Homo-oligomer: A and B are copies of this chain.
Amino acid sequence: MTYPYPQLNPPPFRWMARNTTEPKVHEWIRTIDPEQAAEYDWSQVDVTIVGIPLSRSSISASAASENPEAMRQAWKSFVPYSIDEDVDLTPLHVVDVGDVRQHVTDIPYCHRQIKEAMISMRRTHPHALPIMLGGDHSVTAMLVKGWKEAHPEQRIGLLQFDTHFDLRSVVELGPANGTPVRQLIESGTVRGEDVWNIGLHGYFNALSLKKYADEHGVNYVTLKKARQQGLQATLQEALADLERKVDVIYLTVDMDVLDMADAPGAPAATPGGMRTDELFELVLQAGQHDKVQAMDIVCLDPHKDVRQVTVKAGVYVMLTFLTGFMLRKQHNRI
């Protein structure tokens, strides 16, 4: 019998795609079944991507748990080439290792798993830079704690792009999405002075949080002030300060730093926030810094999005960070 279906394709490989020699993002990023992870040759991996589908720890009802899958679907329409920077990403070896296992009703279990995931990644392939797709902002506390447990000798700096301090009371809320930075400070994982938060604005941070930040030496620059002194200059000041003090910088991007008109799918985004092009430029610069060794993207709820604009901005943030990382690699190679 001859080949029976000369004219049929599996869903992802239609006629058009077949004639294309260049990959889309989902054809460039490799996916690994966890069951085969033990056999995989991790030595050449540059970057790992992992989804963290947890948002039941959100203060407000959120479907940020659906973000990893939404971003994966969305990046099928992106290509791994930045026309702005003339950077081809395909030389990077990027692996999507899937999602951290979560539980329906056991939030402490979820949080432990997230921490364990980071520990496992750091131990199995410490040379690979991890990118975490949240989930709500509570995951950041667990991820940084996991890093600290894997590298107890390292002093960790936190670079945060956010509308909020995320310094609310752990006693009151537990390990919720309003408390991760406070959890890290109070657990001794990160020092207050090693936190830099850029992008705060408006009427969404209580006065007591500002006082807490001051008391613990947390560095922060409001969006207004950052625009006045230049967003890039502000970031360079933050990076220079952290560079002197810490061994590794963890970048956390809370999508609600964006203006609500640009990011309707970030439920806590507000009017007057950061524009997408401003955020992309910050992330590009951060990606180029040698000490930035991990990044997460959090608080993006695709169920609240309008025509996918926020999910696409999330993908853009990830690819822009990788563009910065690629420039860093090219620079270091010289």
Given that A84-B224, A271-B309 are known contacts, is A79 also in contact with B205, CB under 8 Å in the complex?
yes
Q: List 23 A-B contacts (CB under 8 A).
A: A5-B97, A7-B101, A7-B117, A8-B117, A9-B100, A10-B98, A11-B51, A11-B69, A14-B53, A14-B99, A16-B104, A19-B169, A20-B206, A77-B204, A80-B203, A83-B201, A83-B202, A84-B201, A84-B223, A105-B173, A259-B277, A261-B261, A270-B312
Among B5, B97, B223, which residue has its beta carbon within 8 angstroms of that of A34?
B5
A37 touches B8 (CB 8 A): yes
B7 touches A113 (CB 8 A): yes
8 Å CB interface, A68-125 against B: 68-69, 72, 77-84, 86, 88, 90, 97-107, 113, 116-117, 120, 123-125
- Besides the contacts A3-B38, A83-B201, A105-B175, what 15 more A-B pairs have beta carbons closer than 8 Å? A4-B120, A4-B125, A5-B97, A8-B37, A8-B99, A8-B120, A11-B51, A15-B102, A21-B208, A22-B206, A81-B205, A84-B201, A84-B222, A259-B262, A264-B309
Q: Which 8 A-B pairs have the closest CB atoms?
A: A105-B174, A61-B63, A15-B101, A4-B124, A56-B56, A271-B313, A10-B98, A271-B276
| Among listed A151-159, A233-241, A299-307, A324-332, interface-contacting one | A299-307
- Chain B residues with CB under 8 Å of A99's CB are 8-11, 14
B34 touches A78 (CB 8 A): no
| Among listed A25-33, A184-192, A244-252, interface-contacting one | A25-33
Interface membership of A172, Cβ < 8 A? yes
A8 touches B97 (CB 8 A): yes
8 Å CB interface, A13-55 against B: 13-16, 18-22, 25, 31-34, 37-38, 42, 50-51, 53, 55
User: A: which residues have CB within 8 A of B?
Assistant: 1-11, 13-16, 18-22, 25, 31-34, 37-38, 42, 50-51, 53, 55-59, 61-63, 65-66, 68-69, 72, 77-84, 86, 88, 90, 97-107, 113, 116-117, 120, 123-125, 138, 169, 172-176, 200-208, 210, 222-225, 259-262, 264, 270-272, 276-277, 280, 303-304, 306-307, 309, 312-313, 315-316, 319
Chain B: CB-nearest residue to A97: B8
How many copies of the chain does the oligomer comprise? 6
Chain B: CB-nearest residue to A318: B203
In angstroms, Cα B275 to Cα A311, docked, is 19
- Chain B residues with CB under 8 Å of A260's CB are 307, 309, 312
Least distance between A1 CB and chain B CB atoms (Å)? 7
- Chain B residues with CB under 8 Å of A66's CB are 61
- Chain B residues with CB under 8 Å of A125's CB are 4
With most chain B CB atoms within 10 A of its CB, the pick from A81, A176, A203 is: A203
Chain B: CB-nearest residue to A277: B272
In angstroms, Cα B42 to Cα A5, docked, is 12
